[in-house]
Amino acid sequence: MSVALHASPAVDLESISAQDRVQWAVETFGRGLVLTTSFGIQSAVMLHLVTRIAPAIPVIFVDTGYLFPETYRFARDLTDRLKLNLNTYVPTTTAAQQEALHGKRWEAGLEGLKHYNAVNKIEPMDRAVRELGATAWLAGLRRSQASTRTVLPFVQPQNSLVKILPILDWDNRQVHRYLTDHALPYHPLREQGYISVGDWHSTSKFEPGMQEEATRFGGLKRECGLHEPSGRGDFSI
């Protein structure tokens, strides 16, 4: 089945619930469907929402080696609690090797971030897609999170995959309600003022007057690379 075919579903995804969008994806893509997680501030929502419908779905976790200690503990606890089929992928070059050979690339502006993300995020995700035989990808992006996400559709082709965004239209109140209704936790760093969490070196606390997207990568950009299509034929982005 072609990517283009699945990118235009007959069902009106705008008018149905997030749970029904996940159900549609499961029925449409079957074993080719994967879920990604960063174990970020609100990641428990997607992990719970999706695994209630597809308990055995492969969950891809790209571990850059630069995550907060709290993130690793949060990942461990949610994996145990939700019995996730977790598939962790790491860069082929260690953090120590990268810094010895190339320095701290995340400090070298947009071009440095591009190289950093290619090695630490995009290549591991490429590998995950190939090894798991993925054809479709569930992700937890929401329109309210950043200006780069306001016009996203619920389903779109992304190189070799179809990307589905079940909670795209949720706001923070809906996220909070879901977490509360299901007694699910936020990432522990939320209590310290973080509203978005990635690598420790590229994540800032939220300060009054800031836009949410400014808490990542020093405000230079919002996306880490995984959600920026390049037009290449494989997953690489």
Which string of DSSP letters, residue by residue, matches the chain? --HHHHTS-SS-GGGS-HHHHHHHHHHHHGGGEEEEE---TTHHHHHHHHHHH-TT-EEEEE--S-B-HHHHHHHHHHHHHHT-EEEEE--SS-HHHHHHHH--GGGSHHHHHHHHHIIIIIHHHHHHHHHHT-SEEE----GGG-GGGTT--SEEEETTEEEE-TTTT--HHHHHHHHHHTTPPPPGGGGGT-SS--BGGGB----TT--GGGGBGGGT-S--STT-----SSS--
CATH number of the domain encompassing residue 112: 3.40.50.620
User: Does residue 237 lie in a domain region?
Assistant: no
Active-site annotation holder among 129, 165, 224, 237: 224
Q: Quick: pLDDT tens for 6-52.
A: 555 667 898 999 999 999 999 999 999 999 999 999 999 999 999 99
Q: Is the pLDDT of residue 237 over 80?
A: no
User: Does residue 66 lie in a domain region?
Assistant: yes
User: Does residue 224 lie in a domain region?
Assistant: no
**% of the chain exceeding 90 in pLDDT:** 64
User: Does residue 161 lie in a domain region?
Assistant: yes
Q: Is the pLDDT of residue 218 over 90?
A: no
Is pTM beyond 0.95 here?
A: no
User: Does residue 230 lie in a domain region?
Assistant: no
pLDDT band at 148 (very low <50, low <70, confident <90, very high): low
pLDDT band at 109 (very low <50, low <70, confident <90, very high): confident
Number of domains in the chain: 1
User: Does residue 100 lie in a domain region?
Assistant: yes
User: Does residue 225 lie in a domain region?
Assistant: no
* Enclosing domain of residue 141: 3-219
224 in catalytic set:
yes
User: Does residue 85 lie in a domain region?
Assistant: yes
Q: Quick: pLDDT tens for 191-216.
A: 998 888 889 888 878 777 667 767 76
